[in-house]
Structure 1
Amino acid sequence: MKENLELLIQEVQRNSKYRHIDRQLIENVAILETAKGRSFKDSVKAVRNKLHQIANAYQPTSISYTKIIEKMISLPTDLKHPSVRTFCQETMRLHTSTRERLPELETFFLTSLGSMAPITSLLDVACGLNPLALAWMPTTPDVRVYACDVFGDQIDFLNRFFTYFGINGQAFSCDLTQTIPEIEVDVTFILKTIPCLEQIDKNIAPRLLANIKSKNLLVSFPTRSLAGQGKGMRQNYNQHFQEIVNGHNWRISQFSFSNEEAYLIQK
């Protein structure tokens, strides 16, 4: 069984689209899919499909971090410099989640986090390229930034980004379905993440919100599908969120944006 699982993981990773995904996540998905009694070939296809749904669909094209880094190291090291801000915006366009937020980038974090400014530390889970939005967040100059995701090449790039711009930051790989980071910060971002995690574990959301160490959580849900369709998603996810937090005596502030519904939870 163990040998078959290892062969399955290796076969999944033979496709370059899945090569950089956290191995623990691939293994977790593989265990779930092989338990359904599929053939080896069908299991490989099922694992890749699941990984696409929860991760690869948000990166429609392969991202060349080598080229991005080459461009980055030609820039000033001041994160607020106009050319750096332009670079950050252009790079964030490469990931669907951050691209959708760009039209309201100037107001999204100032509006949702304004009540707790200035922020001295933050954790961004399933971060994508959102750490590049740091210049638009109401933080202190020496803010501590922690970010995690499942793509190894993305994690390497974010650490280079933090180092180059002198940010007190650390990016690391994590499979949230298995391990919740135990880091105490002012606020944890869980942006458009819960629907992806529920593809693997439909009961993960209450556990995730309850077990994250920080007292403040910024949670959001998409209001449109990847194809751009609304389909009543705002109302459906708002109802789902209320079910997730039911029974907790948490203070919750709600913010509506064109492509995103956000909630600031204060435990």
Structure 2
Amino acid sequence: MERKNDQLDTLVDAIMASSKYKHVCKELITYIGAQELSKRRNGKEALKATKNKLHQIGSAYLDSRVHYESWRNELRMAALSANRDNLLHVCTRIMNHHASTRERLPILEQFYSEIFTYLPPIRSVLDIACGLHPLAIPWMPLPEDAEYYACDIYQDMMDFLHKWMLIINMQGRTQVCDVIQQCPNYKVDLAFVLKTIPCLEQVDKSAGSRLLHTINADHLVVSFPVHSLGGKRKGMVEHYETHFRELVANEKWEIKKLEFSSELVFVVRK
């Protein structure tokens, strides 16, 4: 047992020493590392497999070079200019650096206007595995006193988004979090779970169901990709709709399906 713990500590330290993964939530690295050590022949194989898994669920979606400090300065200057179009332009350009938000850019206006049509007034939001999605706050019809809580696995990203929320005077907080093991327990009007479940289920097949039932929100906006990162659609809409309905089959939740060009969305009232 002690040898396994030593192996796990060594694996975690090695991954966190790498420039690619040094900002990743330690709890997630530990969780995946323990899984891989139990399946692989040795520590070297487990280390490689853990890095591959972290790439699949995280870094594959984020550009290899991020410029959080310069982006913060650009956002601050755009906000100070009091020119909404200028701010939206900067937000859009930064969101282009993450695959999840990049795919949504052509439909931003339509996406939020249609989704919020099926929601009551929203005063508090939880954004699960958010990526750069909080940069889309200016497109959301939220009141000035709304609270926005965002979580993801990258510490540097959460620091950047915290500063972004200060720039736009948005109440709330950002936090590093491994939602596979523990979901934030904020009570909110709305939780975004955007293209998140397939990634979580690569690590833990029960994570999607557990997350949906644990989130303390009156409404959910849950989405799935309609094509792979390589652009192939290959029946993904049908597959993910079937899967989502299986996850919530035992609940009497009200569900509205919305299909956009790049995203399959379910608006849920719990």
TM-score for the superposition, normalised by structure 1: 0.96
Aligned residue number for residue 7 of structure 1? 10
Aligned residue number for residue 132 of structure 1? 135
Q: Please say if residues 185 and 216 of structure 2, whose CA atoms lie closer than 8 Å, have aligned partners that are also in contact.
A: yes
Q: Please say if residues 68 and 91 of structure 1, whose CA atoms lie closer than 8 Å, have aligned partners that are also in contact.
A: yes
Shift of 1:80: 7.0
Identity of aligned residues (%): 39
Q: In the superposition, relative to structure 1, how do residues 80 and 196 fare at CA in structure 2: closer, same or farther (>3 Å)?
A: farther
Deviating more after overlay: 55-64 vs 154-163: 55-64
Deviating more after overlay: 79-88 vs 61-70: 79-88
Shift of 1:89: 0.5
Among 198, 202, 212, the alignment partner of 2:201 is: 198
Gaps of 5+ in 2: none
Aligned residue number for residue 221 of structure 1? 224
Matches within 5 A, 1:1-267: 1-77=4-80, 81-267=84-270
The letter of the residue matching 2:226 is: T
The letter of the residue matching 2:116 is: L
Q: Please say if residues 192 and 219 of structure 1, whose CA atoms lie closer than 8 Å, have aligned partners that are also in contact.
A: yes
The letter of the residue matching 1:230 is: R
Partners of 1:181 and 1:59 lie apart in 2 by 23
Q: Please say if residues 118 and 267 of structure 2, whose CA atoms lie closer than 8 Å, have aligned partners that are also in contact.
A: no
Q: Please say if residues 220 and 262 of structure 1, whose CA atoms lie closer than 8 Å, have aligned partners that are also in contact.
A: yes
SS at the partner of 1:58? coil
TM-score for the superposition, normalised by structure 2: 0.95
